[in-house]
Amino acid sequence: MSKKALITGGCGFIGHHVVEHILRKTDWEVSVLDKLNYASMGLDRLRSFGALSNERVSVYTTDISYKLSEGIARELGDVNIVIHMAAESHVDNSISRPREFFQNNINGTVEMLEYARGLNNLENFFYFSTDEVYGGAPDGTAYGEWDRHKPTNPYSASKSAAEQICVAYENTYKMPIMSINVMNAFGERQHVEKFIPMTIKNIVHDREVLIHSYPGKKRAGSRFYIHARNIAHAILFLIEKGVIGEKYNVVGEKEVDNLEMAEFIAQEIGKPLKYKMVDFHSKRPGHDLRYALSGEKMDNLGWKLPVNFEDALRQTIQWTIQHSEWLESC
């Protein structure tokens, strides 16, 4: 029997990849809740792969930081799986507008939990979190799922708070809740405010790329990058094989510093890299130069990255060059 999945933030960057993956790999009906802010880029992402004309897909525009209307709840019907991805996620914006992030990310999670608590056939409430809840990771450190949180900005604090609320609901109300913490995502149709599409755009237009560095400007900050399709694959994998009440880290294949990333992109495009090392971290509290998570638990479950890092990055660069309207429309 087909399942009904509800995806909050399904018009967003990672969210639309999850919608696409579910449509390709299952026979589920998919409902999307999204308030269509600037990061959602309207319905363009869903439109780009035909989701809006797919009879299995329904899209509702709403602000989930308020109680879901009776009308939308009625239209959603008997939902089996909730994948809660909707969130404000830009660190700079969280520093300038913290109240907005707490309203959306914390209240939104509570409202979705309350909605899900009233469902008759809920099988899984899947909470989508971030590596940033643990704070910056010193060299050689990789945080485990239940390590202590140490958020360093309003965005990561809001995600940490929402994550703890999910733990409380699972314990108190015995809801079938599972959480993942993911690392830096990239892929097709990403907003140009993010490092990889911004770097592609700057190199194409012969502009300087700013590389966030450690004090002294000799070492670039680093990330474990992972393609959004790999994240989507991990979500379905965990819905099938994960344990209710557990958290799982979904990590990138390898650590790459931002200068290495920019050099790779420039080489793929075939243009010289113009760059400047910037000690951004010292002047802007709340920005961490390194995050790292342990993927041991996922490894033990048998999960493998479907697409390796370099192939995924190469495909993303080529696709973005061929669809440059995604760089210019943001």
- Tokens representing residue 219 in the block: 């070492």
User: Is residue 95 a contact partner of residue 286, using CB atoms and an 8 Å limit?
Assistant: yes
CA–CA gap between residue 174 and residue 245 (Å, rounded) = 9
User: Is residue 170 a contact partner of residue 307, using CB atoms and an 8 Å limit?
Assistant: no
One-letter-per-residue 3-state SS of 164-214: HHHHHHHHHHCCCEEEEEECEEECCCCCCCCHHHHHHHHHHCCCCEEEEEC
CA–CA gap between residue 134 and residue 160 (Å, rounded) = 8
CA–CA gap between residue 182 and residue 146 (Å, rounded) = 14
pTM > 0.85:
yes
Pick the CATH number of 4-185+224-250 from 3.40.50.300, 3.40.50.720, 3.90.1150.10, 2.40.30.10: 3.40.50.720
Low pLDDT (below 70) residues in the chain: 1, 280-287, 329-330
Active-site annotation holder among 20, 88, 132, 188: 132
For this structure, is 132 an active site residue?
yes
CA–CA gap between residue 274 and residue 208 (Å, rounded) = 5
CA–CA gap between residue 290 and residue 270 (Å, rounded) = 28
Residue 160 has a pLDDT of 98
Residue 41 has a pLDDT of 83
Active-site annotation holder among 134, 155, 169, 275: 155
CA–CA gap between residue 318 and residue 246 (Å, rounded) = 37
Q: In this structure, how many other beta carbons lie within 10 angstroms of the beta carbon of residue 260?
A: 13
- All structural domains of the chain with their residue ranges: 4-185+224-250, 190-223+255-289+304-328
CA–CA gap between residue 140 and residue 149 (Å, rounded) = 18
For this structure, is 155 an active site residue?
yes
CA–CA gap between residue 3 and residue 146 (Å, rounded) = 30
Residue 286 has a pLDDT of 62
CA–CA gap between residue 173 and residue 80 (Å, rounded) = 17
Active-site annotation holder among 131, 170, 188, 257: 131
Second-level CATH architecture of 190-223+255-289+304-328: Alpha-Beta Complex (3.90)
Query: Strands, DSSP E only, in the chain?
Result: 4-8, 29-34, 57-61, 81-84, 124-130, 177-182, 184-186, 209-212, 222-227, 247-250, 255-257, 275-278
CA–CA gap between residue 98 and residue 107 (Å, rounded) = 13
